[in-house]
Structure 1
Amino acid sequence: MSLILTKTKLSLIVSSALLIAACSNQQNEATNTMAAPIAKKVPHKMVIHNHTRVDDYYWMRDDTRTNPEILAHLDAENDYTTAQLKHTEVMQEQIFQEIKGRIEKDDNSVPTKSGNFYYSRQMQGENEYPIYVRSSDFKGSNLEVILDVNELAKAHDYYQVSGLKASPNGKLLAYGEDTVSRRVYTIQFKDIAGNTLLDDKLEGTNGGIVWGNDNETVYYIKKDPQTLLGYQVFRHILGTSQSTDEMLYEESNKAYYTGLSKSKDGSSVFIWHSSTEASGVSVIDANDAKAQPKKFIERDEGHEYSISKKNDWYYIKTNWQATNFRLMKVNKVHLGDKAQWQEVIPANDAVKLEGYELFTDHLVYQQRENGISRVTIQQLSTGQEQQLSFNDSAYSLSLYGNYELDNKALRLHYASFTTPGTHYDVDLSNFKKTQLKQTKVLGDFDSKNYASERIFVKARDGKKVPVSIVYRKDKFKKDGTNPLYQYAYGSYGHTIDPSFSVSRLSLLDRGFVYAIAHIRGSEMLGRPWYEDGKKLTKMNTFTDFIDVTKDLTAQGYGDKDEVFAAGGSAGGLLMGAVINMAPEQYKGIAAAVPFVDVVTTMLDESIPLTTNEFKEWGNPKEKAYYDYMLSYSPYDQVKVQNYPNILVTTGLHDSQVQYFEPMKWVAKLRDYKTDNNLLLFKTDMEAGHGGASGRFKRIHNTALQYSFFIDLHTKS
């Protein structure tokens, strides 16, 4: 039996005596005459906990990504998607040009100081990739190119640079490169002045390094080639072979991620060990090329913490006796003794401590209260504090580029639904904000044409779910006639704050209302909000999203028959779950790189990242987790019912969510669904989890999704 089949049924039309072959037993999905690819079924039994599942499409997995039958099916799906959306190609190009036309082609990042140089990134003309430069001063009076990614990318269909790091003396540059999109990087070393590569090359890494203070010692992480987990920390000496590198640490617990960083005072290298429910740190003396790691404290299940160092003191952000975290400190002589920790910022059940920055004379800390991010500057000698204020009622706020202890200003980035990204330096002595740059939006954009709101929706169990909304004022009626685009993520405690998007304007200008549902599984309302949307409470994530949809349309923010929803990765899981549970609520959904085959993936520890996810979803080898996962897993819960119009996108080389998950899901949906709606599946045969690697190439995916939704809306 060939891979791609067309299921037929014959109808005898007596009046014309014609024999007509229908294209599918679940009805033609669109008016286009091209038949949807129908995959063969090869039953594969899986038994655990005395329960049997049969997966007809298990055969679609090929870890080598070379099986011609599978590749042919993906090509057929791509051809089918292209054919079904042929009539939208003009619109796709129009939206692509709209979005691209709002972007300033020559765009430089704000320089950040590290060591003796100010580093920045330049985007020029039609270039897809950045040029990295540096100067001895903030003004850039003697700019020097240290890496032109456009030149490096020329020979590759996909190219991604990661972890640029100059040596302490500024003479060498280390960077990681990935040409496959599996997030496995080769580290290269460049002599900046000579513009030449060193012979040293580190293969199979996570893409980042930390320099020792002697300018020739390098610390890096190797990945497992099958699971892609970074789990081994090595020390490399420039001029030697990678095969002789010393392994300093190996993570034996597969539920933990491993990371590397350097303390702000430059004295220490930190090895991070983290899961979603526990963490640990080991410390290496950055001045000693033979130093061995020392545990900061013993790792305890349920204890999450991170550290920074300033002179003789370590600062610790910890959830020890503090659900929403607190800040503590300990002198280096008491390394390993938690009893000696001193409280700096106390715990608060209503306020989550999100982060902090250390400076010579100041401490800056960021908290989240009732979903809003706040930044406070504290004078260490006096304890005097000042909280920064901003104009919008809801916004996105991040601290970045604060690499030096002796900086006199705090660097931050601010944006909202209606305020383009803005970079500030905040004087630590008088709290005055100086705007360094605001992202230019070309064309006729005027922020006064748009309005945003922040409301709370009552979920079915009584919890109040925050929702951020934006619309164009002259297009919004609040009478239930606007199309509604609803987005969410809702996993890993990852919080999506309202921020500016030049792409989104193409929806708002066409009358769409855009809403972010800050559902459980994020940390929008603190750590308990996350805990109430993971493991055995994960169903809250999905029901919150559905309840937000119902409430927004009931309040007139959107037409109940014109609701479109989108999510990616774990947000793609969300899309798959809600259309199984409440398909009638949505006219169309877009699921990007969706994690949809939850049970099978979480039972297979050979699949990249599975073991790291046990603390997020649970381990289905335990029956309670198996039964619960099975109750919401999108692939397992596909039903014989009507489904909305669906657009699924993925990358063949995705290392986070394997291509075969959405591939199987689409095949099963085709077999079960009872409607005439579109079911489209597009695979980027070169890309991975992050999609295309160029800044303009990425816009094509956005234009595709927007056109899909807009076309469905205009047909109503």
Structure 2
Amino acid sequence: MISITAPVAKKVPYEIVTHGHKRVDDYYWMRDDTRTDPEILAHLAAENSYVDAKLAHTSELQETLFEEIKARIKKDDNSVPTKRGNYFYASQMQGDNEYPIYIRSTDFSGSNTEVLLDVNQLAKAHDYYQLSGLRVSPSEKVLAYGEDTVSRRIYTIKFKDLSTGELLADELIGTSGNIEWGNDNKTVYYIKRDPQTLLAYQVFRHTLGTPQANDELIYEEQDKTFYTFMSKSKDNSSVIIWHSSTETKSASVIDANSPKATPIEFIPRETGIEYSIAKMHDWFYISTNWQAQNFRLMKVHKDKVGDKSNWQDVIAANDNIKLDDFELFNDHLVYQQRENGLIRVTVRQLSTGKEQQLSFNDSAFNLGLYGNNNLDNSALRLYYTSLTTPYTDYDVDLTTLEKTQLKQDEVLGDFDSNNYASERIFITARDGVKVPVSLVYRKDKFKKDGTNPLHQYGYGSYGSTIDPRFSFSRLSLLDRGFVYAIAHVRGSQMLGRPWYEDGKKLTKNNTFTDFIDVTKALVAQGYGDKDNVFASGGSAGGLLMGAVMNMAPELYNGVHAAVPFVDVVTTMLDESIPLTTNEFDEWGNPKNKEYYNYMLSYSPYDQIKKQSYPNTLITTGLHDSQVQYFEPMKWVAKLREYKTGDNILLFKTDMESGHGGASGRFKGIHETALEYSFFIDLLK
């Protein structure tokens, strides 16, 4: 039998001294920002070949899973049209196409359909293709869109004359991918990215028909801890520049009716104060954490915006209920809140103050407001899903709250939601805090006796809440007897803003211990087989995977870490790396010794030690703009050096993709099939 040998990376000691403390990084040499170094590319290719060889015996299973998942997806599928201006906009998926076709029509039923863009044609010449920021001009005659063919999230904006189908000569390079139109149909606002840090920080004004070199810089963000992005108010009167860091958020407003307008700060930026705004007629509505940790809704007349003392309460602060979102209509306010981790939606009639609350059947679910582009709508558009309910689109009458189902994603084959059950339980963590957990399993495959394999997922960063939602692909695990669990660990906002605050910076360790404590409890309560527990997470969830692998490797038979952020200290010390400066308020700035020591105590790369690690699959994309490829590459090399025992360690790099994985609706299924087959093959 021919032995398959894992690639072994060379060691080139590189000293990093911080606060008088010396670290030696033997794999620092793996960083190449040009992504052209032959030695590095050869090593990545060797790792890919090793994966292929080690998993060759699962190739049939991978193909089975791929076809199984793909077969559930309806090939010809249209989105529900949403109205903007005089048209209804939608997307079509056809046959084996990887990408949508964007269309519009003059009525909801789709008569007089006009094709705006066939993304399949645009993507033909590229291994990777991502479309961004479709915006139709106020005259509804010109379409702007951004395209990225590298997966670095740097877009070129193009313009299409919808009457002729021809592209205009204008091209805006180096952008964040989104534009907003001035109301004269000639003025375009866009944001440029720094090519090194990828920070979107400069807002330019472009006039159609003129060279990009002549564009006017109207705003430049000087603070590198802030992201910059844009939107347009629902009443179309204003273009809003958003200034967003982890703990401070603000806005500047541009008069969309004036092609020479300058941005006006809504209120002076204040550290620790977050707000977002929406405009309706003469009033601005403001969602803010000012004197309200869980946020509240306020309003102010357009003539008095510059002073918070003029703000009036619309929805008061509540320590137990977080305000998540809101939508404005001419005579209605819709607001979405979260109490004890559960979403609720309330409709208030503005003229009378009367309130009504929407109701749904599932004990835990995900819901989002979308497509509510016009103030004069009589209905609210939303989507609804749960772990057992496919995505369902509704129009909700704002007066009666009667729900009209517009569409439910069709699951082809023998799917019956009644075959599956979901639960929402609380696990007591080591410090006494109760952690919410969402569970789903197939009823006829589940016995609460510790015999089912368990797949536990987690994220727990940036206040991002992973709500329970339906997955076509997950059925392949549930039908094979897996229990699937989402651990809603601290660092999300599942239980409000305090839940986030207790899982970042100097409390980040709670994210990791919560995940471990959930695993132990689920096994103890009979939800999972102690010998067949599998864990997965991506990006900051990959950091979570790396930390729990160091802290409690014995709990997991297999781990999948996707695009993992694992070299925490070195990355956060380097301000030339994309995202670093924006995230000091998330992780802390290691130039401060207290943060340095704390981050070092959990950084997965720095905390690798001689021990037996779980069977591990690590995946990344060469062009990842969020977590650079060299982080997982270094991590794998060091794990190979230190790990004991015979458990396998595999590292797969997609040489064409970035942080989001492969583009296209079917290509991504191959990545899922790889992860699932890796876990299924490990079952004891």
1:401 partner amino acid: G
- Check if 1:506 corresponds to 2:476: yes
The secondary structure found in structure 1 opposite 2:224 is coil
Residue 314 of structure 2, aligned match among 327, 332, 344: 344
The whole-number CA distance in structure 2 between the counterparts of 1:519 and 1:48 is 31
Is 1:422 the equivalent of 2:389? no
Q: Give the aligned partner of residue 232 of structure 1.
A: 202
Q: Which residue of the partner structure matches residue 628 of structure 2?
A: 658
Give yes or no for contact 1:32–1:83 (8 Å, CA) kept in 2: no
Give the TM-score of the pair, scaled to structure 1. 0.95
1:341 Cα offset (Å): 0.3
- Cα gap change, 1:321 to 1:667, in 2 (>3 Å): same
The 8 Å contact of residues 57 and 664 in structure 1, kept in 2 or not, is answered as yes
Post-superposition offset of 1:337: 1.1
Aligned to 1:697: 667
The SS at the match of 2:679 is helix
Are 1:92 and 2:62 matched, yes or no? Answer: yes
Q: Which amino acid aligns with 1:107?
A: D
Write the deviation string for residues 252-310 of structure 1: whole angstroms up to 9, x where unpaired. 00000001000000000100001110011000000000000101000000000000000
What do the CA deviations read for 1:126-161 (whole angstroms, capped 9, x no partner)? 000000000010000110000000000000010000
Deviation at 1:439? 0.1
Measured after TM superposition, the shift of residue 697 of structure 1 is 0.3
**Please, which of 401, 408, 415 is the counterpart of residue 445 of structure 1?**
415
The partner residue of 1:291 within 238, 246, 261 is 261
Who is 1:611 aligned against? Answer: 581
Q: Once the 2 structures are TM-superposed, how far is the Cα of residue 429 of structure 1 from its aligned partner?
A: 1.3
Q: Find the counterpart in structure 1 of residue 166 from structure 2.
A: 196
> Residues 579-598 of structure 1 correspond to what in structure 2 (within 5 A)?
579-598=549-568
Choose which of 177, 192, 215 in structure 2 pairs with 1:222: 192
Tell me the residue number matched to 2:215: 245
TM-fit CA distance, 1:631: 0.3
The aligned residue for residue 675 of structure 1 is 645
SS of residue paired to 1:477: coil
Distance in 2 of aligned mates of 1:601 and 1:482:
39
Partner of 2:124: 154
After superposition, the C-alpha distances for 1:405-464 in whole angstroms (9 at most, x for unaligned) are 001100000000111100000001111000000000000000110000000000000000
Match of 1:332 in 2: 302
Provide, for residues 224-270 of structure 1, a one-character-per-residue CA deviation record: whole Å limited to 9, x for no partner: 01000000000000000111111111000000000100000000010
Equivalenced residues, count: 684
Partner SS for 1:577: helix
Contact 1:101–1:443 under 8 Å retained in 2: yes
CA distance in 2, matches of 1:348, 1:592: 37
Equivalent in the alignment of 1:575:
545
Amino acid at match of 1:304: E
Q: Secondary structure at the match of 2:514?
A: helix
CA offset at residue 548 of structure 1?
Answer: 0.1
Structure 1 position 60 matched with structure 2 position 60: no
Please give the alpha-carbon distance, in whole angstroms, between the structure 1 residues aligned to 2:517 and 2:119: 45
Match of 1:629 in 2: 599
Given candidates 318, 330, 340, the residue that maps to 1:360 is: 330
2:411 & 2:120 partners in 1: Cα distance? 24
Correspondence 1:454-469 to 2 at 5 A: 454-469=424-439
Q: In structure 2, what residue type is equivalent to 1:196?
A: E
| TM-score calculated relative to the size of structure 2 | 1.00
Alignment of 1:558 onto 2:528: yes
Work out the CA distance in 2 between the residues paired with 1:646 and 1:285. Answer: 53
Question: What is the CA–CA distance in structure 2 between the aligned matches of 1:267 and 1:221, rounded to whole Å?
Answer: 20
Per-residue deviation, residues 102-144 of structure 1 (Å, max 9, x unmatched): 0000000000000110000000000000000000100001100
Alignment match of 1:259 (pick from 229, 253, 272): 229
Q: Does 1:79 align with 2:27?
A: no
RMSD of aligned residue pairs (Cα, Å): 0.6
Q: Distance in 2 between matches of 1:611 and 1:706?
A: 35
Secondary structure of the corresponding residue to residue 546 of structure 1: helix
CA deviation map 1:163-187 (0-9, x unaligned): 1111111100000000000000000
Confirm or deny that 1:179 pairs with 2:149: yes
State the distance in 1 between where 2:644 and 2:302 align: 66
2:394 paired with 1:432: no
Secondary structure of 2:66 counterpart: helix
Aligned partner of 2:149: which letter?
Answer: T
CA distance in 1, matches of 2:46, 2:184: 55
The partner residue of 1:46 within 9, 13, 16 is 16
Consecutive unaligned residues in structure 1, runs of 5 or more = 1-30
1:317 is matched with 287
The offset of 1:34, in angstroms, is 1.3
Q: CA deviation at 1:675?
A: 1.2
Q: Which amino acid aligns with 1:111?
A: P
* Counterparts of 1:408 and 1:186, CA distance in 2: 37
Which SS does the other structure have where 1:39 is aligned?
coil
Aligned partners of 1:32 and 1:84 also within 8 Å: no
Structure 2 partner of 1:27:
none
- Cα distance in 2 for residues equivalent to 1:609 and 1:457: 33
Q: Which amino acid aligns with 2:635?
A: W
**Alignment correspondent of 2:441:** 471
Deviation (angstroms), 1:570:
0.2
Q: What is the DSSP-based 3-state SS (H/G/I as helix, E as strand, rest coil) of the residue aligned with 1:564?
A: strand
1:335 to partner: Cα distance: 1.9
Distance in 2 of aligned mates of 1:435 and 1:48:
58
* Separation in structure 1 between the aligned mates of residue 328 and residue 664 of structure 2, nearest angstrom: 35
Which residue does 2:676 correspond to in 1?
706
Give the whole-Å Cα distance in 1 for the aligned partners of 2:361 and 2:163.
45
CA distance in 2, matches of 1:579, 1:245: 50
- The residue correspondences of 1:101-180 to structure 2 (distance < 5 A) are 101-180=71-150
- Once the two structures are superposed, what CA deviation does each residue of 1:628-658 show, in whole Å capped at 9, x if it has no partner? 0000000000010000000000000000000
Deviations 1:335-367 (A, max 9, x none): 211110000000000000001000001000000
Structure 1 counterpart of 2:377, one-letter code: N
Q: 1:278: which partner in 2?
A: 248
**What is the deviation of 1:32?**
6.9
Distance across 1 between alignment mates of 2:121 and 2:36: 29
Residue 192 of structure 1: CA displacement?
A: 1.1
1:651-676 deviation per Cα after TM superposition (whole angstroms, max 9, x unaligned) = 00000000000000000000000110
Q: Quick one: percent identity of the two aligned structures?
A: 75
Q: Structure 1: which 4+ aligned runs deviate by more than 6 Å?
A: none
* C-alpha distance in structure 1 between counterparts of 2:403 and 2:2, whole Å: 57
